[in-house]
Structure 1
Amino acid sequence: MGAVFGSSGMSGSHFCTASVVDSARGDLILSAAHCMDSTSDVFVPAYHDGIAPYGVWHLDRIVVDQQWSADSDPDDDVAFGIVAPSDGRTIQSVVGGDELGIDQGTSNPVTIVGYPQTSQAPLTCTNRISSFSSTQLEIGCTGFTGGTSGSPWVAGGIPGTVIGVLGGYETGGDTPDISYSVAFGPSVENLYQEAASDRTD
């Protein structure tokens, strides 16, 4: 997991969260679509207190659902970023990555790690999830304010299986104590396959 900064990098402020997701090429991060709209943004895994222990990583391409591009449908608030290599290494080879979980239901608790804009360290919460609707998941976690959008919902420990990202309904929620995610189904799996098969070289 890590923080997303704008084009000025760490000299600016972080505004969203993302995580590395396992792929054959090892170059994918996952976040909310409303977080990822510019390849000028950078990803800083394990960011804390002004330190980038694994470096600053740049984006080559962002992949979002066509329905998100058309009308910002909250049921499509998921994005994959294709990360450029650094010093000949992929981001996954440096920090590892979570498996992508599709149609996982709500039986397992999840751990969320996110970066509030007002903090220089991540916030972590583990709790059980529930279905908010047929297309959205819900969780109660305290303090997930602006900046935590895109935070992965990880089942089975860390690294584990990411089954959601903070976003979706009300772009993740209108209070800091209740958060939402798109329920990962076939459309997210198709989006992942599109991103995983994209060639940037």
Structure 2
Amino acid sequence: MSPAGKGATAAVAGVAAFAVVAFVGSAPEYEEATASPFPTVGVLMADGRHWCTASVVDSPKGNVVATAAHCVAPEGVDGETGDVAHDGMAIGELSFAPAFTGAGAGRQPLGRWKVRSIHVDERWSKWGEDTADYAFLTVEPDKDGRSLQDVVGRDQAPIPDWTSGYERDVTVVGYPESDRNPRNEPVSCTTRTSHDEDDPDMLYISCPGFWTGTSGSPWVADRGGPGAPGRLIGVLSGGDTDVDSTAALFDVRARKLYERAVRG
């Protein structure tokens, strides 16, 4: 699902493959990453509010996060970039809170990390192609120079997989918005992917609980726990209900975006 439900695609006003946002301070101390079952997954925030789900992906500098393109860029139409999100709201300044949890404003046990740059495929930002509904973000180090991946655990972040097939056993983790999830706890499902019947180029799973706010949730194959974080093959893009979810399968074009994020 999108930030406000995809069917009605949400995004940020003013598309760009690269964006800079204002500084968001990290917490001075962090809790143990092992206290969370999914320390690399968290809430993508816009102006401090829950907007989508995102996750750390393994990278050389430990500073890359994956999410859905519609969470960070307007859907393009007929070669033209969009202007605003579907509801007319600008998404605002982005930050990422891994292992977010707790009622009300919630806790950010592993800090809140400033998003420095956004990398989105033009197939999404100009044409609105669902098969390009993924994005890679780079985040700033904390005030002590530590990388995001160092804090969540170097051996916890899944490795991106650019050549996956459509039938894989995956674990999908996401954060529904608080109206459906008042304690702000992640939901997860381990199941097998298949081709989406309506769009065979998209991945499909059937799992309950993936309401609004779970867009960008990672789809991780071969996950085996700490030290065996698995392979990231896509992120949740859409679905008509909380049970039916789709994802764009990572491919060589996704790899190019990731490599731009790594350089960024």
Structure 2 counterpart SS, 1:71? coil
Q: Report if the CA contact (8 A) 2:176-2:186 is conserved.
A: yes
Aligned to 1:3: 43
Q: Report if the CA contact (8 A) 2:173-2:186 is conserved.
A: yes
Q: Report if the CA contact (8 A) 1:39-1:62 is conserved.
A: no
Letter paired with 1:29:
V
Name whichever of 142-151 and 30-39 sits farther off.
Answer: 30-39
Aligned to 1:114: 174
Aligned to 2:219: 153
Residues 38-93 of structure 1: CA distance to partner in whole angstroms, max 9, x if unpaired? Answer: 67111000000011110011101100012212122211101001101102011011
Distance 2:220 2:96 in 1: 19
Distance 2:218 2:255 in 1: 16
Q: Report if the CA contact (8 A) 2:97-2:110 is conserved.
A: yes
Q: Report if the CA contact (8 A) 2:46-2:92 is conserved.
A: no
- Count of aligned pairs between the two proteins: 190
Residues 3-41 of structure 1: CA distance to partner in whole angstroms, max 9, x if unpaired? Answer: 11111x2xxx31210000011111100000011246711
Aligned pair partner of 1:24 in 60, 74, 77:
60
Aligned pair partner of 1:101 in 161, 164, 175:
161
Distance 2:108 2:230 in 1: 23
Aligned to 1:76: 132
What TM-score do you get using the length of structure 1 for normalisation? 0.90
Distance 2:92 2:58 in 1: 20
Structure 1 counterpart SS, 2:61? coil
Aligned to 1:162: 232
- Greater than 3 Å deviation, 4+ residue runs: none
User: Radius of gyration: which is bigger?
Assistant: 2
What TM-score do you get using the length of structure 2 for normalisation? 0.69
Question: Unaligned 5+ residue runs, structure 1?
Answer: none
Q: 1:162 to 1:176 in 2, by over 3 A?
A: same
Q: 1:108 to 1:67 in 2, by over 3 A?
A: closer
Distance 1:69 1:59 in 2: 19
Letter paired with 1:102:
W
Aligned to 2:80: none
Q: 1:39 to 1:195 in 2, by over 3 A?
A: farther
Q: Report if the CA contact (8 A) 1:106-1:128 is conserved.
A: no
Question: Unaligned 5+ residue runs, structure 2?
Answer: 1-40, 74-90
Letter paired with 2:50:
H
Q: Report if the CA contact (8 A) 2:174-2:210 is conserved.
A: yes
Q: Report if the CA contact (8 A) 1:130-1:139 is conserved.
A: yes
Distance 2:60 2:176 in 1: 31
Q: Does 1:177 align with 2:243?
A: yes
Q: 1:174 to 1:134 in 2, by over 3 A?
A: closer
Distance 2:170 2:132 in 1: 21
Fraction of identical pairs, as percent: 43
Aligned pair partner of 1:60 in 116, 129, 136:
116
Aligned to 1:40: 93
Aligned to 1:123: 187
